[in-house]
Amino acid sequence: MIKVDNLTKRFGRHSAVSGATFEAAKGEVVGFLGPNGAGKTTTIRILTGFLPATSGTATVDGLDVSEHSLETRQRIGYLPESVPLYRDMRIREYLRFRGHIKGLRGNTLRRRMDEVIERCGLGDVRRKMIKTLSKGFRQRVGLADALIHDPPLLILDEPTNGLDPNQIRSIRHLIKELGESHTILLSTHILSEVEMICDKIVIIDGGMVLASDTPSNLVSKMRSAGRISIELKADPLIAHEKMSSLDQVKKVTHERDRGSWGEFSILVESGTDTRERLANLAREEGWPLRSLHRYAATLEDVFVELTRKD
């Protein structure tokens, strides 16, 4: 559904996007992640036809976005980070207006209005003025607008930004439902959201794509996926030396002391589990052992490891 190949966008001497390449297949929910200024919004604006690329190509449903701008826009439902709504309109008036702009008329427009109002949970407030709605409901109106012409692709830019926890949960559930019938490109900073919703993740920084894979594959490949913490009573220098000599151990760090107890972080080869060797070593050396824990890496670890500057 989306294919981006060596996409570059320059503003004068500054490259906002530098040779980005990634794909989103039909029916996938793809998380588009990156720190502020990474190039996410510029890439989205190119995909949606707001900006031309300097070089490279971007296609939507097999159509080049620069050569077939109108056709590709008809296939996209776009929810920007700040939803531009006409606040003095009622919800049905606004959706009728937006449907007209997108070429819908008569029974088709009325049917689509009813469908998106129902799907986005706007039935009880459909006659209310938009300016009287909470931010959560305004986001839902923005989603209804993006869906009114029934596009196969949804591009959602920070759809839960500024919402409270209950509103976030509600919008997240709605996006998950939409993912059953649409391809979705989801740009967000809330990584727990991505882990729960997305089939695939694209991480961009400095305008370049650093990773593109499933959440589980990305986590398994990270250094942090092979980390063990251990807390024991021992001379720190001796414990460091002994644990560093074990097979599969790549690095031992003395994190802190808690009274007479020392806490160590041990980096091991990804995909291995060295806890039994460490427990045996502690028993052989007569070190009292208080805790031994294999660290479960998260998407946050992946993000930090790929984008941190140190």
Encode pLDDT of 242-268 as tens digits.
999 998 888 899 999 988 999 999 988
DSSP letters, 8-70, are EEEETTEEEEEEEEEEE-TT-EEEEE--TTSSHHHHHHHHTTSS--SEEEEEETTEETTTSHH
**3-class secondary-structure state, position 135:** helix
What pLDDT is attached to residue 310?
A: 56
Is residue 224 scored above 70 in pLDDT? no
At 281, which helix (H) or strand (E)?
helix 275-285
Convert the pLDDT of each residue in 79-109 to its tens digit.
998 888 999 999 999 999 999 999 999 999 9
Which domains are assigned to the chain?
Answer: 2-214 (3.40.50.300), 221-307 (3.30.70.1340)
Across 48-57, 100-109, 297-306, least confident range: 297-306
Average pLDDT taken over every residue of the chain: 90
Instruction: Please give the average per-residue pLDDT across 302-308, as a whole number.
Output: 80
The CA distance from 118 to 148, in Å, is 12
Q: Which residue has the higher pLDDT, 267 or 23?
A: 23
pTM of the model: 0.80
Is residue 223 scored above 60 in pLDDT? no
Convert the pLDDT of each residue in 153-178 to its tens digit.
999 998 887 788 888 888 888 888 88
Strands (E), 61-182: 63-64, 76-79, 153-157
106 CB-near residues (< 8 Å, 6+ apart): none
The CA distance from 103 to 189, in Å, is 34
Evaluate whether 211 touches 203 at the Cβ level (below 8 Å).
Answer: yes
Is residue 297 scored above 80 in pLDDT? no
The CA distance from 180 to 154, in Å, is 12
